[in-house]
Structure 1
Amino acid sequence: MTQRPLPGRRAVALGSLALAPLALAAPVLRAQPAPRIVSVGSSVTEIFYALGAETLLVGVDTTSLYPAAARKLPQVGYMRALSAEGVLALKPTLVVATTAAGPATTLDQLRGAGIEVLLLPDHYDYDSVVEKIEAIGKVTGRTAEAKALIAEGRRDMATLAAKLASVAARPRVLFLLAMSGGAPQAAGRNTAADGIIRLAGGVNAVDGYAGYRPLTPEAVIASRADVVVMPRQSVEALGGVQAVLDQPALRQTPAGRNGRVLQFDAILLLGFGPRTPQAAAELAQALHPDLVKGK
């Protein structure tokens, strides 16, 4: 008499055979390698750190001085004078920079070598800061962190705007980048200094040109500046605030007569990165001492 196989055993055997082809066909998932990113521009680098994405950086440019940890990374030169060889030596997969980066020939060489180059806006308003944060959040996978950072910044900027709405007088602000050689380098239109002065509720005392130019003594007097703002490093190089006030032309301005010379960290004040709300609030408080903090 022929024995029949037990039904349970047959079912198990058939089930195993049915699953075998599926197991063989299943794709093998491999983790994608993390991008190797070179950051060009102080604001760009600050955003990487603010989003907690600094571990993706393999190099930065020489303007990336904040936070201090960024200074320990390999450098690829000044943002406006990048060397393709220096960047390529770090084997990056992506270069993130602002539109101020260059020269264009270097950027073209990098693209030709198969490296993605992402250029972000370099305007001097808070909307461009938001665009930079959003873009870096996307390429680093930190979109949630980017949204939180933007929301916090917008709240701070709205708070500042509400304070400044009640300010009647807008002081004329002369921003001097340096005073080497006796001719002060003053910020005109379309500069980071011009942008932060406006955000802080001031008026740029120099509007006859764009960029930074040396001012004649007559032009300094004609600025009728109520306040002089300078990078702290420049004030220290001159020997202190009194050395600034001792300049003959400045003595003939309201700022000089009233001793109103303000000094700030240049990276904070001119960076237009994630700390811009802080910079604008600090400058506004200095320009308008009557502003009530925290309201």
Structure 2
Amino acid sequence: MKLLRSALLSLLCAAGIAQAAPPARVVGLGGAVTEIVYALDADKALVGADASSIYPAAAAKLPKVGYYRTVSVEGLASLKPDLVLASDQAGPPQALDQIRKLGVKVVMLPSAPTVEALDQRIQGVAAALEIPERGRALVSRLHAELRDIRPVSPPARVLIVSSHTGKMQAVGNDTAGHAMLRLAGATNVLADQSGFKPFSAEAAAALKPDVIVTTTMSVSASGGADAFLAQAGLNATPAARNRRLVVMDDLLLLGFGPRLPEALRLLQAGLTAGQPAAR
């Protein structure tokens, strides 16, 4: 087979048909997208990423082109990529159009927080990088791990809160956080609302969650776990009174990326531990 392939390549070269080289300069737009490149062991091609690409540690050191929803055309173009891998929420659209007009291939990838869409993200990245077999292998490993995860019992009533922007928001349905709770077997107390919702102290208290789940950045912005739980509204919940707080890395909790099984295991451990939050 190798001899046949070599002979075919020789014929193509003789006919003046050059074989296209795999992408050598790649930019990732979206933390989960960039993380997939690392999971596929293809990070040597990465020359830049957006500000949400914070995992692994090496990704945080890449040259940045702004936030993936507000991409800097100048910053991206300066990296001279031959391929841009982008979440379908990346933009603005006119910025990506300008990049395409420069002759750069832009591959858009689904961002929906479902296992099916995650499979498509992984396989789409692998196909664009011309390593489809690695994509299939990663998807296979991911599904094998997911099959071993069982729902928590009894299902906890959970409020996911994000406040790293300075304004406290709760996580409703149609979000990665809601999907994480569903896969873990927990109940989202804000399931009747969609997206990220600002809410009042009274609303937080009325929801009466057993557990509060939040991100590392949100806790850091509040000054620690004690200060986070002491916020008006949260401090009146059963979760705060019993110090049932689960803190997870932002991208791990909300990225819905290739570490999904790890994220679910950590979330379930926090939901079932019943231990006081770390001070």
- What TM-score, normalized by structure 1, do the two folds share? 0.82
Which of the numbers 145, 158, 164 marks the counterpart of 1:173?
A: 158
Deviations 1:78-129 (A, max 9, x none): 1000122222222222211111101111112222232221111111122211
**Letter of the aligned partner of 1:253 in structure 2?**
T
* Equivalent-residue separation in structure 1 for 2:199 and 2:264 (angstroms): 25
Partner of 1:219: 203
Cα shift readout 1:271-293 (whole Å, capped 9, x = no counterpart): 11110111011101221349xxx
Residue type at the aligned position of 2:161: L
Aligned partner (choices 228, 251, 255) of residue 235 of structure 2: 251
Contact 2:212–2:244 (CA under 8 A) maintained in structure 1: yes
Structure 1 pair 76–236 and aligned structure 2 pair: CA distance change class (3 A): closer
**In structure 2, distance between residues paired with 1:179 and 1:37:** 29
Find the counterpart in structure 2 of residue 206 from structure 1. Answer: 190
1:46 paired to 2:35: yes
Secondary structure in structure 2 of the residue aligned to 1:137: helix
Which range is displaced more, 247-256 or 119-128? Answer: 247-256
Over residues 59-89 of structure 1, what are the superposed CA-to-partner deviations in whole Å (9 max), with x where a residue is unaligned?
1111111111122322111100012222222
Matches within 5 A, 1:92-131: 92-131=81-120
Distance 1:179-1:82 versus aligned 2 partners, 3 A rule: closer
State how far apart, in whole Å, the 1-side matches of 2:54 and 2:164 are: 23
Find the partner of 1:67 among 56, 59, 66.
56
CA contact 2:126–2:135 (8 Å) conserved in 1: yes
CA distance in 2, matches of 1:27, 1:202: 61
Q: Whose radius of gyration is greater, 1 or 2?
A: 1
2:176 pairs with 186, 192, 204, which one?
192
> Given the alignment of the two structures, is residue 143 of structure 1 paired with residue 132 of structure 2, yes or no?
yes
Preserved CA contact (<8 Å) 1:34 1:56: no
After superposition, the Cα gap between the structure-2 partners of 1:248 and 1:27, relative to the gap in structure 1 and judged at 3 Å, is: closer
Retained in 1: the 8 A contact 2:214–2:246?
yes
The answer to whether the 8 Å contact 2:164/2:217 transfers is: no
Letter in 1 for 2:41: G
- Identify the match of residue 267 of structure 2 among 283, 287, 290: 283
In the alignment, the residues of structure 1 paired with residue 18 and residue 57 of structure 2 have an alpha-carbon distance, to the nearest angstrom, of: 35
SS in 2 for 1:135: helix
Is 1:79 the counterpart of 2:77 in the alignment? no
Local SS of the residue matching 2:173: coil
| Alignment CA distance shift 1:137-1:263 (3 Å) | same
Contact 1:94/1:117 (8 A) holds in 2: yes
* Match of residue 256 from structure 2: 272
The separation in 1 between residues aligned to 2:117 and 2:164, in whole angstroms, is 30
- Identity, in percent, stands at 40
What is the count of residue pairs matched by the alignment? 262
Counterpart secondary structure, 2:148: helix
Matched residue, 1:132: 121
Q: What are the Cα deviations for residues 214-251 of structure 1, in whole angstroms up to 9, with x where unaligned?
A: 21111101212110011122213322222233234223
TM normalised by structure 2 equals 0.86
Distance in 1 separating the partners of 2:232 and 2:81: 51
Unaligned segments of structure 2, at least 5 residues: 1-10, 275-279
Question: How far has the Cα of 1:179 moved from its partner?
Answer: 6.9
Cα RMSD (Å): 2.2
Q: Is the 8 A contact 2:27 2:81 kept in 1?
A: yes
8 Å contact 1:179–1:185 — kept in the other structure?
Answer: no
